[in-house]
Structure formats: C-alpha cells, structure tokens
A and B are shown apart, each in its own frame.
Chain A
C-alpha cells in the first residue's frame, strides 16, 4: 500500500532533512534577529523605533511566498550573481520570521504590568535587578507558548521554498509523484510526517501554557 513511499524512502527522507535544516536555520537566525526587532519596537529612540517599525509593517503585510520569490529573483539582480535556493530561502525566512518573533517579544514585554516593575523599584531593587528578576522572567513565560507556536508555523512554512525549486520534503514528494503517480499516498505520507512532528511541538507548547496558568 505504501509501495511508492517505501521504494523512494531515502530520497523522500532526504527532502525531509532539507526541510528540517531549513527550519533550523530559519529559527536560529529568525529568533535572535526577532529579539533585536522586538527591542527596537519597544525602544524610545525614534531613530531605532521608526525604521524597525517600518520594516515590521512592510514584511508583515507581504505574503511569505512573495518574500521568498522577491529575494530569490531580485537579489541576484542587485548583487550581480545568482543565489542558491537554500541560502536564499534561509535568508527570506529569517527576514520574515524575525518580524513575527519581534512582535511576540514586544507583546510579552508589554504584558508585564508597569506596577510589577514599580513594585520592584519601590522595594529598592535597581534597574538591572528589576529587569533580571522581574521583567525578563515574567515576559519570557508569557512569550514561550507563542514562540513555540510560531516556530511550528515556521517549520510548516518551509515547504513554501518549493516555489524556488528547493528540493525539500514536499518538492521531493512531487518529484516522485510525477514518476509514480501516487499522489494520495505520497502527499498523505508527507502530511503524516508533518502532523506527527508538529503535534509533538504543540503538546510541548501546551505544557508551557498550563505552567503559566498555575503560576509556576
């Protein structure tokens, strides 16, 4: 029943590995850049705030697919040499996801009540101590479930790199399908693999949400 999958398993799993690598690099770059973006969004310095806000608003209002396209087709014109699909996709994802991670950080920061910070100050804690023991731990706890969810979304979105010819999981399933014509079986297999990996992620995310409610 799964003959088309089993006879092409190494090829398909090679594509899965490309997907995992792409997601890994997208997050490894997107989260740190997102932290900078988030800090820029809460900055009181207008030379930081306005450019960062402009960047966030532009990117968040463009479909990811277009960001990937644009980067892949326009960048070579600007820099004068063609880009490989993989680094091109990684950079597109980092640029795109950083805006979402940045907004999660901003929301987490703003969810900490001003009063909790002032409570820290009013007991004689310094700025650094208040930030270290009150602001960051509270914001981080609020942010974590959204960060995990956004990471799962990023992982799912990696299959959009399909459009620039990156041989990731879905593209490889498509290649096998053109030869073997077993669409339901092949894309069913891809869906199951995505489902299992994402489900594990969402279970982890939910555990953090429960912890937050308990206060621990």
Chain B
C-alpha cells in the first residue's frame, strides 16, 4: 500500500531523513517511535505530499507522491491524517468540521455528508457533540472529531502524528480505543506514538527512528524483548516504566 524507497529529505543543509526504505502492506498497522526531532512527523508529511523530499521515491497505492503529474489533492483524500494538536477548525461545529471536505472536495450534497458525519460521530462515540464548537469539547473529544473528519473521506490509509501526546491521561484511552477499533477493522495505519501498550496490542511492525534514520524495526515481541541497537534499548528504557 505504501512503498518508500531510499527516501531522503533536507531542510537546507540539514538532512532530516536519511535513506528511508519501508513497505507497508494493506491492512497493516505500523508504529513509528523515536526521540523528538528524529524525523517521524516529517516522514508522515512526506507521505501525503505536505512536504517535498529531494531523493528517493514514495508510492501510495502505486502512485508516486513526488511525480509532478500526480494529483496531490486527490491522493490526499486517500490518506487521512490526525494531528497531535487536533487542528479542528475553531469556527465550525464538530459536524461542520467533518462535512467540509466531502462537500467541497467531493461536491457531496449537505444531507448526504451530514448523514455520513453522524454515522462517524456515532462510531467515535460522541454523536451528542455534533453541534458543539471545538472550544466546548475536551481534548479527547476533539481528537475523536478529528479522526472522524479524516475518516469521512473514506481513506485507504490513516496516519496519526502523536495523536495522544497533547491529551490528559484520562482521555488517552478513549482515543486509543477508536484507533484500536480501526486497526482491527483492517485499516492500513501508520502511527507515530509512544503508547507502547497500543503498539503491543495492534502493531504489525514497530519502527524506531533516530536522527532521520530507521535504526531498528521488528514485530512487537522481538522489538521489545531483544532490541539489537543500544539506542533502541536506551529509548525503550526511558519510555517504558
């Protein structure tokens, strides 16, 4: 579903991503972890073309992201993205946040878009908040609206960029539960997170990144029990209590 081949990216002289190669198959959930500044978020942003990269290739469902002929707007509808800080539109209610893209990017009639949005709000557990503004929702509720906003485009892939890092501890579970449901429902997912419980439960592969490189990868058991790289071990010791 996603193929990354020898991909490198520079910001000026600074190389943020170094020869990344990775393949994610349909239905897989891949967890990406690593210290801050290691290039995890940048990698996600390159996959949906929010950031250009200078070397290598990324294919999403067979389509090259860096090919100038690619319609990035269409490609992005296939890739949902959830952000650390939710990034809901503050001037719109929850349901308006969700229906904006289907109505504008796909010209769906309002009725149809709203019906679909309500169905998704039901799925993330907050149908009663449909007409609330983001400012009146808790962090966990906002993040679930953000997930629904991505799902409404019926993406083939969902990317999560530290979706629970900005949440109070008691709200983390409600967001992770939605994500676990998605993963078990067969969604292809890339999740940047340090929630190792989540990684254990649903990930098919865990990638550890540091200084722009993938320095370790493994299935959950091998990754946690026998990390090969001392950096990985050091990192795991820090985040696992």
Contacts and interface: CB of A to CB of B under 8 A. Distances in A.
B73 to A, nearest CB: 5
Given A121-B50, A123-B76, A215-B133, 7 more contacts: A118-B81, A122-B79, A124-B77, A124-B105, A133-B100, A141-B91, A215-B134
B105 A125 contact: yes
Contacts of B134: 215
Interface of A: 113, 115-116, 118-126, 129, 133-134, 137-138, 141, 213-216
Given A113-B87, A118-B87, A125 B133 contact: no
18 contacts: A116-B87, A118-B45, A119-B83, A119-B146, A119-B149, A122-B48, A122-B150, A123-B76, A124-B74, A124-B101, A125-B73, A125-B101, A129-B105, A138-B90, A141-B91, A213-B135, A214-B133, A216-B91
Contact of B73 (A113, A115, A124, A134): A124
Contact of A122 (B80, B89, B91, B135): B80
A137 B91 contact: yes
A129 B89 CA distance: 13
Interface centre among A129, A133, A134, A215, by most chain B C-beta atoms within 10 angstroms, is A215
Interface in B2-35: none
Contact of A118 (B50, B106, B149, B150): B50
B225 interface: no
A115 to B, nearest CB: 4
Interface residues of B, number: 31
Interface of B: 45, 48, 50, 73-74, 76-77, 79-81, 83, 85, 87-91, 100-101, 104-106, 133-136, 146, 149-150, 152-153
B171 to A, nearest CB: 19
Contacts of B77: 123-124
A138 B96 CA distance: 14
Nearest to A114: B87
Nearest to A118: B50
B91 A123 contact: no
B139 to A, nearest CB: 14
Contacts of A137: 91
Given A133-B104, A215-B91, A215-B135, A122 B50 contact: yes
Nearest to B150: A123
A118 to B, nearest CB: 6
A80 B45 CA distance: 59
Nearest to A117: B87
Nearest to A124: B77
Contacts of A129: 104-105
Contact of B89 (A116, A124, A126, A216): A116
Nearest to B96: A133
Nearest to B137: A215
Contacts of B76: 121-124
Contacts of B87: 113, 115-116, 118-119
Q: Top 6 A-B pairs ranked by shortest CB distance?
A: A215-B133, A124-B77, A123-B101, A115-B87, A122-B81, A215-B135
A120 B85 CA distance: 14
A126 B76 CA distance: 10
Contacts of A119: 81, 83, 87-89, 146, 149
A158 B146 CA distance: 48
B85 A115 contact: yes
